[in-house]
């Protein structure tokens, strides 16, 4: 088992924020249209990666977070999305107009403790770390999208210092794509 606990990073200088050769779309913060926005983006992905590892779901979650938490579902605010896909990689950058995710360090600490419980098979203690709730969380929040995101986006999940712009990268192993055949 890999004992390294993946974390959300803060580094506005990360190469993941380079937008060269990326497609760009801007959307209103309309929660009802997130699935449509996601499909517009995912249609650019090669077929080999569309069916792997829940790409559409993960992109949708990043956009949902920007709409709900960043822009407070205010349709007058926009979500900016840069994206690029290849058979080996999916990369996305999402920026909202909100104040940013200010609890990254707290979330990383919570996730580290959660993973320590899992690695130690300490399921009674794990019950304390089932759901992350920050100061601005509502009853539907629990951190599950972020738990999945840091696992899925294996090339990095990075915020700028303002914390309202996130870049994520998924690297697809060659063996899963049958590229070596």
- Over residues 57-71, the pLDDT tens digits come to 999 999 999 999 999
Q: Which pLDDT band, with edges at 50, 70 and 90, does 180 fall under?
A: very low
Q: Any bridge partners for residue 95, and if so which?
A: 80, 165
Average pLDDT value for residue range 176-180: 50
- Is residue 3's pLDDT more than 60? no
Q: Which pLDDT band, with edges at 50, 70 and 90, does 181 fall under?
A: very low
Cα–Cα distance, 77 to 18 (Å, whole number): 23
Domains parsed from the chain with CATH numbers: 22-100+143-177 (3.30.565.10)
Percentage, residues of the chain above pLDDT 70 = 93
- Is residue 27's pLDDT more than 80? yes
- The pLDDT value recorded for residue 99 is 95
Q: Which of 178, 180, 154, 181 is nearest to 58 (CA)?
A: 154
Angle at which helix 104-119 crosses helix 144-152, to 10 degrees, equals: 80
According to the per-residue pLDDT averaged within each range, which of 42-51, 144-153, 160-169 is highest?
160-169
CA 7, chain centre distance (Å) = 11
Q: Which pLDDT band, with edges at 50, 70 and 90, does 178 fall under?
A: low
What's the burial of 122, exposed, middle or buried (CB within 10 Å: 0-12/13-18/19+)?
exposed
- The pLDDT value recorded for residue 1 is 41
- Over residues 108-149, the pLDDT tens digits come to 999 999 999 999 999 999 999 988 888 777 777 777 789 999
């Amino acid at each position: 088992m890999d004992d390294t606990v993946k974390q959300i990073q803060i580094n506005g200088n990360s190469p993941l924020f380079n937008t060269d050769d990326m497609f760009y779309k801007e959307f209103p913060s309309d929660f009802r249209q997130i699935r449509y926005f996601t499909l517009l983006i995912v249609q650019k992905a090669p077929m080999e990666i569309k069916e792997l590892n829940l790409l559409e779901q993960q992109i949708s979650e990043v956009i949902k977070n920007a709409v709900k938490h960043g822009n407070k579902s205010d349709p007058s605010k926009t979500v900016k999305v840069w994206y690029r896909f290849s058979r080996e990689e999916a990369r996305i950058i999402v920026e909202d107009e909100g104040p940013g995710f200010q609890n990254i360090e707290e979330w990383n600490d919570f996730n580290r403790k959660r993973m320590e419980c899992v690695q130690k098979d300490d399921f009674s203690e794990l019950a304390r770390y089932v759901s992350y709730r920050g100061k601005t969380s509502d009853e539907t929040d629990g951190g599950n999208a972020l738990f999945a995101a840091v696992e899925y986006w294996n090339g990095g999940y990075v915020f700028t210092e303002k914390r309202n712009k996130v870049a994520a990268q998924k690297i697809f192993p060659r063996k899963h794509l049958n590229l070596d055949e």
